[in-house]
């Protein structure tokens, strides 16, 4: 099993990189797992332990219970090849990037994309394309409400998908795309109904940058059967275990899902996410007494 300190350092770096690219949902998820790693007792402070007090009661209550047999990690997982964190682009277009990010944070997606129109670094290209995608999504939602109302159906589409697919496809062919661009390319392909290519792009993305939970979530939505899930050629990394735990649960393979989360608790022993997922799996397995205790503790956190 990888060390807690190694996971902690990886997640800290990932949160900064994800936030810098406006992937806030993935950054938030990573932050929640970061505080789920037990702190070294020598570094305990009130702020460090505040998120972990409630979780510790769950661990104490179940420490003497018989736990399910946790499968051994796949070959190489205990000492996976180091996954290098991506090198950030040189600060050539830094000022324009900061302006674009400010527009993005104000939900002015089209302005953010326009500011970066002449910037060619991979980081700027991603944010420009991501902002354009969200501008298209925003316009689509407005058209849906205008045509049919918030609960109605309409034929509104994201009008930016065609140009985004063309650009991202060209970047992929020339090797000028990074893991974040591959993630967005997978999202665009999925929206256009090309699920096979979308899966391939998302697998390539998580293999090169495994800390983007949004990419894993999009990939999971395309794994509608165990056959598809087993066909994925995924590198061994502890993030893969999170993915499999969630994917197994969606496929109603609750025992397998529970085994993954039991394994991950060896590192993320105070993760509310893992505890909630574990409780859901146990509920599906009709272990109601344990579920009631776990949810009561989660509500107190």
User: What local confidence, expressed as pLDDT, does residue 96 receive?
Assistant: 95
- How far is 137 from 106, CA to CA, in rounded Å? 15
User: What local confidence, expressed as pLDDT, does residue 282 receive?
Assistant: 80
Q: What is the pTM for the complete model shown? A: 0.81
What domains can you pick out in the chain, each with its CATH number? Answer: 1-86+213-301 (1.25.40.10)
Q: Do 243 and 219 contact (CB within 8 A), yes or no?
A: yes
CA atoms within 13 A on the CB side of 282: 19
User: What local confidence, expressed as pLDDT, does residue 149 receive?
Assistant: 58
User: What local confidence, expressed as pLDDT, does residue 74 receive?
Assistant: 38
The SS3 call for residue 94 is helix
User: What local confidence, expressed as pLDDT, does residue 39 receive?
Assistant: 79
User: What local confidence, expressed as pLDDT, does residue 281 receive?
Assistant: 81
Backbone angles phi, psi at 22, to 5 degrees: 65, 25
Dihedral sign for Cα atoms in the order 19, 25, 28, 33: negative
User: What local confidence, expressed as pLDDT, does residue 2 receive?
Assistant: 83
Q: DSSP per residue over 31-88, as a string?
A: HHHHTTSPPPGGG--HHHHTTTHHHHHHHHHHTTSPPPPPPPPPTTSSSPPP-PPPPP
The parts of the chain modelled with pLDDT lower than 50 are 49-50, 53-82, 90, 288
- How far is 245 from 276, CA to CA, in rounded Å? 12
Read off the pLDDT of residues 24-78 as tens digits, 9 standing for 90 and up.
999 999 999 999 998 766 555 555 544 554 444 444 333 333 333 333 333 334 4
User: What local confidence, expressed as pLDDT, does residue 151 receive?
Assistant: 58
User: What local confidence, expressed as pLDDT, does residue 156 receive?
Assistant: 85
Q: Which two tokens stand for residue 58?
A: 């769950």
- How far is 285 from 279, CA to CA, in rounded Å? 10
User: What local confidence, expressed as pLDDT, does residue 163 receive?
Assistant: 97
Q: Do 111 and 103 contact (CB within 8 A), yes or no?
A: yes
- How far is 81 from 259, CA to CA, in rounded Å? 24
Write the CA distances from 91 to 112, 123, 168, 208, 226, integer angstroms: 18, 10, 23, 23, 44
DSSP assignment letter at 121: S
User: What local confidence, expressed as pLDDT, does residue 86 receive?
Assistant: 62
């Amino acid at each position: 099993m990888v060390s807690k300190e190694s996971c902690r350092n990886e997640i800290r770096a990932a949160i900064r990189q994800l936030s810098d690219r406006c992937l806030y949902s993935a950054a938030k998820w990573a932050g929640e797992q970061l505080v789920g790693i037990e702190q070294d007792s020598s570094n305990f402070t009130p702020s460090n332990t505040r998120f972990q007090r409630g979780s510790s009661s769950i661990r104490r209550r179940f420490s003497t219970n018989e736990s399910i047999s946790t499968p051994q990690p796949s070959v190489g997982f205990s000492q996976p090849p180091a996954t290098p964190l991506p090198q950030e682009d040189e600060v050539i277009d830094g000022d324009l990037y900061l302006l674009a990010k400010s527009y993005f944070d104000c939900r002015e997606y089209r302005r953010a994309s326009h500011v970066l129109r002449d910037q060619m670094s991979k980081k700027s290209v991603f944010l420009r394309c991501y902002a354009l995608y969200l501008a298209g999504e925003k316009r689509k939602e407005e058209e849906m409400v205008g045509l049919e109302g918030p609960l109605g159906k309409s034929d509104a589409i994201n009008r930016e998908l065609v140009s985004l697919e063309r650009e991202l496809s060209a970047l992929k062919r020339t090797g000028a795309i990074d893991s974040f661009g591959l993630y967005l390319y997978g999202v665009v392909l999925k929206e256009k109904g090309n699920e096979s290519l979308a899966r391939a792009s998302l697998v390539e993305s998580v293999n090169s940058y495994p800390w983007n939970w949004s990419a894993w979530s999009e990939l999971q939505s395309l794994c509608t059967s165990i056959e598809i899930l087993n066909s994925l050629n995924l590198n061994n990394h502890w993030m893969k275990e999170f993915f499999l735990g969630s994917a197994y649960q969606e496929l109603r393979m609750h025992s397998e899902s529970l085994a993954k989360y039991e394994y991950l608790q060896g590192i993320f022993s105070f993760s509310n996410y893992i505890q909630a997922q574990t409780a859901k799996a146990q509920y599906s397995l009709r272990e109601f007494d344990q579920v009631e205790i776990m949810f009561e503790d989660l509500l107190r956190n």
